[in-house]
Chain A
Amino acid sequence: MKQIDPIWIERARHGDEEAFTMLVEAYQTPVFNLCYRMLGESTAAEDAAQETFWRVWQKIKSYDPQRSFSTWVLSIAAHYCIDQQRKQKITIFELDEYPDFDLGDPHMPNPEITVITNEEEETLHRMINQLNPPDRAAVILKYWYGCSEEEISQMLSLTVSAVKSRLHRARRQLAEVVTKNQSTTLQRGSYDEALSL
């Protein structure tokens, strides 16, 4: 994540709009990315990111400089996205819609996984969307932003043990999605094979 001179944060805390614009410029991508991963849609993510920065501006006077600014901003974004999803009750995908995953050996470097296409991006969203919003936020913060469980607990206002248990549950769900898809793909394959005979 892009580092910013703390002087800009201090100036923004004192109501300097120009300094705050610098902060928006510096943090626009991490905030947008988090919103995109949470909401799975570009327009909604942009609106959420805009709203996040407005909330940051409103709360910046209460920001504690001892805390990491990026963590604080991301926590506002995560809370906003969780609230949005609770309000909208985003459609839960059916089990049949689970994405296709490569069944190759995960220990071997696989170019098909490394090169992410639009289709893969879509399947990734579907997989992440299986998780409930707070679990999703925990997974995104852990695996995209490399946040520790302590940091996630601060960001999502949860205890460390609650974060651990959410991550544990989320990982189980993610593994189940992949397993389910693998068995569906295998069944489809044998059915196609049977048809061709």
Chain B
Amino acid sequence: MMKHYPYEGWILDDIDLDETRRADLEAHLALCPQCAQLSRSLRIALQAIRNAPEQTAPAGFVHKFVSSFEARRRLQERKQARTLAIVFASTALIVVLVSLYVFLPELSLISLAAAAVSAVVGLLEGFQQVVSFISNAYKNLSPFTLIISGLVFAGWVLLASLTLGLSVWKLAFRKSEVKQ
């Protein structure tokens, strides 16, 4: 049986052999059809690769890159902002949970849930009391007192709205001044 070592390696390593080795390889290739075929096939494959022309970039490649640049940057900023928000929210949650665990060691999930439910119930009861107070006042008070109370309440709401509007307008105005 014909030995292919080291000839197969010499062929596949694609290196420049010294004269002695090259002559040795040539002699082997003349006798071994398997190695001769390997050498021939590899030569054809590498020649095909080396002779293939360089593919030029399509027309407008640079323009396409430049015009997509701003969009890519915005997308990246959005991604970074999202990541930052997730990190902050997770950190805040961890801090809250650790604080609860440290400062209120006896607090459990059940007691937390119970506190939340009782707060909601309390809020609903308060709202109910306000409604019943208004309906009682409407039934028992004289129309004159009702009109005066209504006007006072409406005046208070108007004043509060004006104050709020003025504050918002001032803030917006000052902000635009700073920008300019």
Contacts and interface: CB of A to CB of B under 8 A. Distances in A.
A127 interface: yes
Contact of B45 (A32, A50, A120, A178): A178
A173 to B, nearest CB: 9
Contact of B57 (A32, A121, A177): A32
Contacts of A36: 55
B69 A144 contact: no
B16 to A, nearest CB: 14
Nearest to A168: B12
Interface string B13-38: 11000000000000000000000011
A50 B68 contact: yes
Interface in A28-57: 28-33, 36-37, 42, 45-46, 49-50, 53-54, 57
B86 to A, nearest CB: 21
A151 to B, nearest CB: 16
Nearest to A167: B14
A42 B58 contact: yes
A72 interface: no
Contact of B51 (A24, A116, A177): A116
Interface in A85-143: 101-102, 106, 113-114, 116, 120-121, 123-124, 127-128, 139, 143
B54 A29 contact: yes
B49 A128 contact: yes
Interface of B: 9, 12-14, 37-38, 40-58, 61-62, 64-66, 68-69, 72, 76
Given A50-B64, A171-B12, A102 B52 contact: no
Contacts of B14: 167, 171
Contacts of B42: 171, 174-175, 178
B46 A174 contact: yes
Contacts, number: 112
Interface string A1-31: 0000000000000000100010011001111
23 contacts: A24-B61, A29-B54, A29-B56, A29-B57, A31-B57, A32-B55, A32-B58, A32-B61, A37-B52, A46-B58, A106-B40, A113-B47, A120-B48, A120-B52, A127-B45, A144-B52, A168-B13, A172-B12, A174-B49, A175-B38, A175-B41, A178-B42, A179-B37
A28 B41 contact: no
> Helix, strand, loop or mixed for chain A's interface?
helix
A108 B57 CA distance: 33
| Chain A to chain B: the 5 pairs with minimum beta-carbon distance, closest first | A178-B41, A174-B45, A32-B57, A28-B57, A175-B41
A78 to B, nearest CB: 15
A21 B64 CA distance: 11
Contacts of A168: 9, 12-13
A197 B76 CA distance: 69
